[in-house]
Amino acid sequence: MAKSLIHQHGIRAFSAQRFDASSRTSDACWVVEEETLTIDVEDIGAYTLMWTPTEPVAAPCGFTPEDGVLGRDGVPEALALAAGFAFTEGLFSSIEDIRSLAVCPDNRGLVRLALADPECALVRRRNVVVGSSCGICGGRERVEDVLRGIPPVGDTLRLDCTRLDDIMATMRQRQAVWLATGGTHAAAIFDGEGRVRVLAEDLGRHNALDKAIGQCLLAGIPLAGCGTALTSRITLEMASKAARAGLELIAAVSATTSLAIEVTERFGITLCGFVRNGRATAFTHGRRLRAGDVATDFGQLCKPLHIA
């Protein structure tokens, strides 16, 4: 039976046996940590997420719109995930809609969120456990529930297509837990200059994006005119989270789904998959990407960028 040997933030070392055709050896293997974080939203319900805490949960910490982050420097990861999840879930639309947000002092796995007006929240599920790979449950009719209340994104971002590889490389270099375990996803928020403003990683791709969005919300970093880079595939829920945050460009190292393409086309988001080795495939709104000084349109070929 595997035995936990060492525990650091986000990773654990377990005893294991390695086999090949001729031998068996004992070794210690780093694996990504999986824990629960419950977000208790007053007058609405509780949401339990399977997540990876990549930093220590500080002694009592919280947030109010009037005072900002309380109790420590920077944005605590648990608060960022709670804020990002509640925002992309549709429970609030601006940071001023929060009355208070705090990690419970008696239970570091519990975050309490109070909204200024709970009746304004767009509630599509409550009192649920959201798995690390969980997306949207239900039939095609649930799609409109997910997209309800989201306006089209802005159109100010223009980016040299060669910057996408630089963003991906920066993201990989900063993924401490992935470098140790190979078991996490990451999401980065980058600005119109291609500079990575925030980075988050987690075993769940949804959590990583929610952490990054939540960190921007609580730190007062504008999301307008920004994009997101992902290590995961792009699904309906990943696209809808980006749309609700007003992000203009999604760039992912992996593939996309048909519904993600439909959503990004609808809300005016540039969607790029297979961003690797100097190439990317833009499925929607390729006008935001430039090759040299030339802006591209959907359906045109731009080297080294491939517009599908």
Q: DSSP assignment of 92-123, as one string?
A: -SSGGGEEEEEE-TT-TTEEEEEES-GGG---
Cβ within 8 Å of residue 193, ≥6 positions away: none
C-alpha–C-alpha distance, residues 162 and 238, integer Å: 23
Q: Report which of 247, 151, 239, 153 is spatially closest to residue 191, judged by C-alpha positions.
A: 247
Distance CA 229, CA 218 (A): 20
Helix (H, G, I), strand (E, B) or coil at 240: helix
Q: Which residues does 94 contact at the CB level (< 8 Å), separation at least 6?
A: none
Q: How many CB atoms lie within 10 A of CB 195?
A: 14
Is residue 164 helix, strand or coil?
helix
Which residues carry out catalysis? 134
Buried b (16+ CB within 10 A) or exposed e, 4-41: eeeeeebbbbeeeeeeeeeeeeeeeebbbbeeebbbbb
Let me know how long the chain is. Answer: 308
Q: Using the 8-state DSSP alphabet, how is residue 256 labeled?
A: B
Residue 79's contacts (CB-CB under 8 Å, 6 or more residues apart) are 61, 62, 63, 69, 101, 102, 103, 111, 214, 218
Backbone angles phi, psi at 224, to 5 degrees: -60, 135
